[in-house]
């Protein structure tokens, strides 16, 4: 079976805000996050998207937290999961802090590149200035980190095109279509279809929907030939009134992919699809 028949599952394990009060299965410490990463890899995830939390349980961009989480994941010698780290894990961080882990740590293979700013309702403005994005793109290229270009609204595709033209992103671009955040593009299959129709030829892409939109967007992405993201960062319920775990969400995505006639991509296959270097131990 070629990689054309493989679908990448990304597991977004914790996010920056949602507390254990909402779902006791949300991992907060580096040890908890690394253990969920390992178990998700066993269940079929090829990529893990990493946020880290501080001692109060809030998102932080502390490089030491990322380094410890990466170390604990790689302590599982059999686990070759792709490590993808956020650059937007703490609204209190300045631009330099947001880029620090990407600039200084080994072991980060991918990182988020949020292609624009918007009012993330009702909390505040999610700011990604042109200056920050240009510097972030340069830093990623310099370190060999693959940008995951996060698209929350249609205009962000134009921002990505701009930085591609400036040489701050490289083709083929990998897009993550992020639907359902209040203040950005609603999570509908129609919106997914529209965004997909505007992606540059030859690019790779994945999608997810927030909360109850999780399954419609997952199925829509499969129908359109894309990859999928699941996890407690985006959705804390498996079904109405039933709390999810990261593993249960990955297992359901893997089952859906198989029912669709494809197979979950292994990390090695994901690296081939995404143009990443083989894992160096």
Is residue 239 included in any domain, yes or no? yes
Give the Cα separation of 207 and 227 in Å (integer).
Answer: 7
* Burial tier of 121 (Cβ tally within 10 Å: 0-12, 13-18, 19+): exposed
Is residue 244 included in any domain, yes or no? yes
**Domain membership of residue 184 as a residue range:** 3-274
Closest by CA to 193, choosing from 159, 154, 155, 235, is 154
pTM summary value: 0.97
Is residue 232 included in any domain, yes or no? yes
Where residue 210 sits, what CATH number does that domain have? 3.20.20.70
Closest by CA to 8, choosing from 146, 101, 102, is 146
Copy the structure tokens of residue 16.
């920056």
Please give the full DSSP string across the chain, using - where no structure is assigned. --GGGEEPEEEE---SS--TTT-TT---SHHHHHHHHHHHHHHT-SEEEE-EE-TTS-EE--HHHHHHHHHHHHTSTT--PEEEE-S-S-TT--HHHHHHHHHH-SS--EEEEE---EEETTTEEE---HHHHHHHHHHHHHHTPEEEEEESSTHHHHHHHHHHHTTSS-SSPEEEEEE--BTB----HHHHHHHHHHSPTT-EEEEEE-GGGHHHHHHHHHHTT-EEEESTTT--EEETTEE--HHHHHHHHHHHHHHTT-EEPPHHHHHHHHTPPPP--
Are the C-beta atoms of 46 and 71 separated by less than 8 Å? no
Are the C-beta atoms of 185 and 194 separated by less than 8 Å? no
Are the C-beta atoms of 88 and 128 separated by less than 8 Å? yes
Residue written as tokens 């540059």?
200
Per-residue pLDDT of the chain (281 residues; tens, 9 = 90+): 478 899 999 999 999 999 999 999 999 999 999 999 999 999 999 999 999 999 999 999 999 999 999 999 999 999 999 999 999 999 999 999 999 999 999 999 999 999 999 999 998 999 999 999 999 999 999 999 999 999 999 999 999 999 999 999 999 999 999 999 999 999 999 999 999 999 999 999 999 999 999 999 999 999 999 999 999 999 999 999 999 999 999 999 999 999 999 999 999 999 999 999 999 87
Half-sphere exposure of 80 (CA within 13 A, CB side): 13
Is residue 281 included in any domain, yes or no? no
Is residue 280 included in any domain, yes or no? no
Copy the structure tokens of residue 255.
């089952």
The domain tally of the chain equals 1
């Amino acid at each position: 079976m070629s990689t054309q028949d493989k679908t990448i599952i990304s597991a977004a394990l914790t996010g920056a805000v949602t507390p254990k009060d909402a779902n006791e299965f949300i991992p907060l410490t580096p040890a908890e996050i690394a253990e969920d990463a390992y178990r998700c890899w066993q269940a079929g995830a090829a990529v893990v998207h990493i946020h880290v939390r501080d001692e109060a349980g809030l998102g932080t961009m502390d490089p030491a937290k990322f380094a410890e989480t990466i170390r604990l994941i790689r302590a599982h010698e059999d686990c070759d999961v792709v490590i993808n780290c956020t650059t937007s894990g703490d609204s209190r961080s300045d631009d330099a802090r947001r880029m620090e882990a990407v600039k200084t740590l080994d072991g980060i293979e991918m990182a988020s590149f949020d292609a624009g700013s918007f009012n993330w309702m009702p909390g505040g403005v999610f700011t990604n200035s042109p200056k920050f994005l240009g510097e972030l793109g340069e830093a990623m290229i310099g370190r060999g980190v693959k940008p995951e270009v996060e698209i929350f609204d249609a205009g962000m595709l134009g921002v990505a095109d701009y930085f591609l033209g400036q040489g701050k992103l490289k083709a083929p671009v990998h897009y993550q279509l992020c639907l359902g955040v209040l203040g950005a593009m609603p999570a509908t299959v129609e919106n997914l279809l529209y965004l997909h129709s505007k992606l540059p030829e030859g690019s790779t892409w994945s999608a997810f929907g927030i909360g109850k939109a999780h399954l419609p967007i997952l199925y829509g992405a499969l129908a359109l030939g894309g990859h999928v993201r699941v996890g407690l960062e985006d959705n804390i319920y498996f079904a109405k009134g039933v709390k999810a775990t990261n593993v249960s969400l990955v297992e359901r995505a893997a089952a859906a992919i198989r029912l669709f006639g494809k197979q979950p991509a292994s990390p090695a296959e994901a690296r081939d699809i995404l143009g990443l270097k083989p894992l160096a131990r």
